Copies of this chain bind each other. A is one copy, B any other.
C-alpha cells in the first residue's frame, strides 16, 4: 500500500454547523458476524477469513466513492500511524499483530475497521455538528453490509459486541470539541463533571487514554444498552451538546469583554512563537494552534483561516510530518520539521 499524503482532510474543513466549537463529529457502529467468535477469541484462520469476507463485502457494496482497502499487516508503521493521525483507525488496530484491515472512502469520511475489538467497526466523520445526518448515512452503510452478512444479534440484547458497553445498538456518537475558553477560565472541570454525571466519556485528541492536547476534547456516549439510537441521538445532539457549545461561546465572550488585551496577548504570542520557533514539540504546537483557532473564531486574527489551522493540527503529527518531508525523522528532527512547517505556512 502507498498512502498518498493528502494536503487536507475533508472533515477538517470549516464547512459545518457550530464549527467554532465542534471541530468534527463521528458516528461509529460496532458489528460482529454471527458464525464467528469475537476477535479476541478467534484463531488466526478465523481472523483471516473475517478479513477476506469483509474485503469482499465492503468492496462490492458501493458504500461510498473510491473506497480503498488497506491490509494493515502489509502497511508500513508510518502509514498505519498516518491512519491513526487522520482518525481513520484506532491506535489499538494500528499496533495489533493479528490479521486486520481497514476500508477507507476516497473522501475519508467513511472507514470500516476489521478485527478491531469487534469484527467490524464502521465510522463516518464530518466537520461540525451533524450527527443526525451521519446517523442516517451510517444506517445506509450498515444496511448495505447486513444485506450480505449475518450479524450477531439477540432479540433481547440487540447487536452483540465484544465489550458490554457497546451492546444493543452498538452505536457510539462522538464529537471533537474545541474548548479553549472553558480551559482558560478553568471551567472545563465543571464540564468534565457534568459529562460524567450524564455517562459521557471525555477524552483527548486521540481518544481513550490520550490527553487533551490543545484544548481539544472528544466527548462521546459510553453506554448503548437500554436506549434506542434515536433516544441517544436526541439526548446527545439536542440537549447535551448545545449546552456545552453555549457554555464555551459564553466563556469566549467573557474573555473578550473582561480583558480583550490579555486575550490578544495570548493569541498573538502564540502566533509569534509559531512563526519564530526553530524547534517545536507536538503538544506545544497543538496548544499554540488552539490559541490561533480561538483567535480566528473571535475575529481577532482576520488574516488567518480556520481550514489552514485545522490542516496544521493534522500536519504537526509525526507520521504526517515524515510523509511531508519524505524521510524518517528522530524526535529532534521532528521538532525541527514541525517548526519549519509552521514558519512556512504561517508567514
Contact = CB atoms under 8 A, between A and B. Distances in A.
Interface stretch (A23-31, A224-232, A236-244, A269-277): A269-277
A264 interface: yes
A271 B264 CA distance: 17
Nearest to A266: B278
A336 interface: yes
A273 B269 contact: yes
A277 B266 CA distance: 8
A279 interface: yes
Contacts of A273: 269, 272-273, 276
Contact of A272 (B262, B265, B277, B279): B277
A339 interface: yes
Contacts of A262: 278-279
A40 interface: no
A311 interface: no
Interface string A241-274: 0000000000000000000011011001101110
Nearest to A343: B268
A268 B277 contact: yes
Contacts of A275: 272, 276
Interface string A326-341: 0000000000100100
Contacts of A264: 278
Q: Among A261, A264, A269, A275, which residue has the most Cβ atoms of chain B within 10 A?
A: A269
A273 B275 CA distance: 10
A269 B278 CA distance: 8
Contacts of A279: 261-262, 265
Contacts of A269: 273, 276-278
Nearest to A265: B278
A235 to B, nearest CB: 42
Contacts of A336: 261
Contacts of A271: 276
Nearest to A280: B265
A106 B265 CA distance: 39
A269 B288 CA distance: 13
A271 B273 CA distance: 9
A339 B278 CA distance: 23
A239 to B, nearest CB: 38
Contacts of A265: 277-279, 339
Interface of A: 261-262, 264-265, 268-269, 271-273, 275-279, 336, 339
Give the 5 A-B CB pairs with smallest separation, nearest first: A272-B276, A265-B278, A272-B272, A268-B276, A265-B279
26 contacts: A261-B278, A261-B279, A261-B336, A262-B278, A262-B279, A264-B278, A265-B277, A265-B278, A265-B279, A265-B339, A268-B276, A268-B277, A268-B278, A269-B273, A269-B276, A269-B277, A269-B278, A271-B276, A272-B272, A272-B273, A272-B275, A272-B276, A272-B277, A273-B273, A273-B276, A275-B276
Given A261-B279, A269-B278, 5 more contacts: A262-B279, A264-B278, A269-B276, A271-B276, A275-B276
